[in-house]
Amino acid sequence: MKKVLLLALLFLQLSAYEVGETLSNEMVTQLGLSEHSKLYVVDFFASWCGSCQKELPLIATLDHKVDHSEVEIIGIDVDKDPAKGLAFQKELQQEHHLTFRIINDAESQIIGTFNPIGMPTLYVIKDQKVIKIITGATDHIDEKILIVVKEQK
Amino acid sequence: MVQLFLSLALLLTLSGCVQEVKPWEKETLSKETMEPSGGNALARKFEEHIYFSKEASKGGGGVAGGGCGCN
Amino acid sequence: MQLRLSLPAMALIMAANTQAEDYVTFQYLQYQENDNRVSVSAPSVMINKDFGTDFTLNASFVADAVSGASPTYYAADTVSSASATTVDSASGASAYSRGKNIAADRVKYGNVSFFEQRAAGSVMLTSRFANRDELIVSGDFSSEHDFESISGAAEYMHWLTPAKNQSLSLGVSFQSNEIVARCVDEVNCDASSGASQEKQATAVNAQISFMQNINRTSYIKAALFYIADDGYLTDPYLNVVRNNNGVTADVVGEKRPEKRRGYGGTVRYANALTDDLTLQVGYRYYQDDWEVRSHTADTDLFYDLTHSWRFNLGLRGYTQSAASFYNGTSNYFTDELYATSDYRMSDFHAVTYKADVRYAFTKAFSVNLGGNYYDQSTGLKAVSLLTGFRYNF
């Protein structure tokens, strides 16, 4: 009974990119994920999201550890108010030396397509395919992603 | 009990009174002013104390968590 | 003890909020009642600290000094004027002022002075699981020279759906109180020693609550609660008058049942009307087997003028019926088992007006100043001023 109800509630959500699914060509072009065999880490965040504020410095650290010919990190800022988002990004760049590419998604077009179940959500993508999704605040996320990177080598 | 509340949740969603809030749409719900304490937990504690000591009722004053799922 | 500042432990579980943040806040409360009754000055501090993403620790401490006078019946000295008997708390406030078979014209109603110091603290740990369900455990203590209280509480919050728009919480708390009651034995009421006795009381509180996000700017939360109090629930400083035949009367300690079962429900609705304006409305119903029944309604309006200025206006209304064993007159009680003339057990209503302002100098540092005016139909009026700061680190 509980499962049926849960499924019914889930069904009300639109479909999402799940592990194993292939991203549309439009999305690949829009996010710039076209290099084959390169591992892309797409991280959705917002300035008002407390857990994102904890996660992003770790992702920035990770970005400095990886080989950029193999791994690329892309941030997607979903702030509705672009001014708030840009101020937040500036803060991250100054205080946490965050240097990876950030795409602004004020209209929720990108995140609406990915449709994650929580914030922050991080997608690991290779050859247009979603190979891992990490949702919600996660301790030591940098190390967890490094493990995925090693697995994919 | 969980089933009861799930049914209620489903009913509310289907009836249209309640709209599904996406995780990236919770900026407003995560605001301090949406919390029962309005962002000042100590002030709220003092208020509850005073009412508890001047009135004959108690209970219901404090429940954990706010109205959001942003963590 | 007069202003028994020990809340049921459940009420203390409230700081774990939507956005975990590291902060320390200091708040200073100044509370003053009319007619020079109770006056409280209370500094307090709270610290909130995250450990990783799965644990949040919240600790708070308050020290308060309560002085003033509390109204009750007392037996005036034969030569006394209408002024209240002055005793210090250490020798047991109303111990002096009781008596059996005294002249009826010695029965007075007035303020009995006291002074209290209290220290209270609370520690709360929130743990989050992989599905972001939360388990909150807390411990509290409160200590006065004649009253000790410790309590523990646990609450589990479960997200009903992966989208985290509905949650169900179940909480229980247990509180154990130790009360030093003087003059329990009415006959051998020794003024200096007060013939004190240690009394125990316990309180169990259970609560179930449901939260639903209605849309991206509003949510509703409803709860049902049950409270069981057992043990010594009498206020050792309050008196009643028995067997007043107009010539003689007895002024003796009040007596309440050793058991109280209460239950009720609350509902709260919060709506961000605009980006700057938030409205909250709450209601509570309470009822118990002492026949106290109450309704509480409150509303708060928050206005963010700029990033720095935030204004808050609040209004609260309260109404309760009297406990079955309450009577406020001096010639009512005879041999009833339970009797109280405590105004707090009477039939009354009250209104609170609230206003406060917060100014943030930076994202990390803000100061606040606010005031409450409380007006009870029993004649009690109180003003409280709260000022403090918060630092996010």
Residue C352: domain span: 23-121+201-392
Residues in chain C closer than 8 A to B50 (CB atoms): 31, 372, 374, 382, 384
| One-letter amino acid of C147 | F
Residue C238 located in a structural domain: yes
H or E segment and range at residue C173:
strand C166-181
Which pLDDT does position A118 carry in this prediction? Answer: 86
In a domain, C154, yes or no: no
Nearest chain A residue to C19, by CA: A50
How far C131 CA sits from the closest chain A CA (Å)? 9
Smallest CA–CA distance from A120 into chain C, residue? C53
Which residues on neighbouring strands pair with residue C122, listed in sequence order?
A: C60, C140
Number of structural domains (chain C) is 1
Asked if the structure places residue C4 within a domain, the reply is no
Is the pLDDT assigned to residue A90 strictly greater than 60? Answer: yes
Task: State how far the Cα of C220 lies from the Cα of B22, in Å rounded to an integer.
Answer: 17
- DSSP conformational letter for C333: B
| Phi–psi pair at C334, nearest 5 degrees | -120, -95
- CA–CA gap between residue C44 and residue C64 (Å, rounded): 8
State the CATH number of the domain containing residue C53. 2.40.160.40
At C33, is the secondary structure helix, strand, or coil? strand
Q: Which two tokens stand for residue C313?
A: 């206006």
At C177-219, the pLDDT tens digits run 998 876 655 544 554 555 677 889 999 999 999 999 999 999 9
In a domain, C364, yes or no: yes
Cα C314 to chain centroid distance, Å, stands at 19
Nearest to C168 among B2, B12, B49 (CB): B2
Statement: A25-148 belongs to CATH 3.40.50.2020? no
With beta carbons less than 8 A apart as the criterion, state whether A55 and A138 touch: yes
Choose the mutation target among B24, B26, B28 for the interface with A, i.e. most A CBs under 10 Å. Answer: B24
pLDDT for the residue numbered A51? 85
The CA–CA distances, whole Å, from A98 to A61, A74, B68, C164 equal 8, 11, 28, 30
- Quick one: which of A79, A75, A152 has its CA closest to A121? A75
- Return the beta strands (E) in chain A as ranges: 39-45, 71-77, 101-104, 121-126, 129-135
CB contacts < 8 A, A to C, total: 30
Question: Helices then strands (H, E): number in chain C?
Answer: 0, 19
Residues 46-65 of B with CB under 8 A from A: none
Whether A150 has a pLDDT exceeding 90, the answer reads no
Domains of chain A, residue spans? 25-148
A37 touches chain B (CB under 8 A): no
**CA separation, residue A62 to residues A59, A72, A94, A139 (Å):** 5, 10, 16, 13
Query: What tokens were used for C172?
Result: 């229980």
**pLDDT tens-digit profile of B35-64?**
988 989 899 888 988 998 899 998 886 533
State which H helix or E strand residue C205 sits in.
Answer: strand C197-215
Residues of A in contact with B13 (CB under 8 A): 9, 12
What is the reported pLDDT for C98? Answer: 82
pLDDT of res. C225: 95
**Which residue(s) pair with A8 in the sheet?**
none
Instruction: Tell me, yes or no, whether C252 lies in a domain.
Output: yes
Reported ipTM: the value is: 0.88
CB contact under 8 A, A50 and C21: yes
pLDDT in tens, A13-69: 446 888 888 999 999 999 999 888 899 999 999 999 888 888 899 999 999 999 999
Residue C188 belongs to some domain of the structure = no
Query: Would you say residue C262 lies in a domain?
Result: yes
What tokens appear for C124 in the block?
A: 């709360």
The residues of chain C scoring below 70 in pLDDT are 1-20, 78-96, 182-195
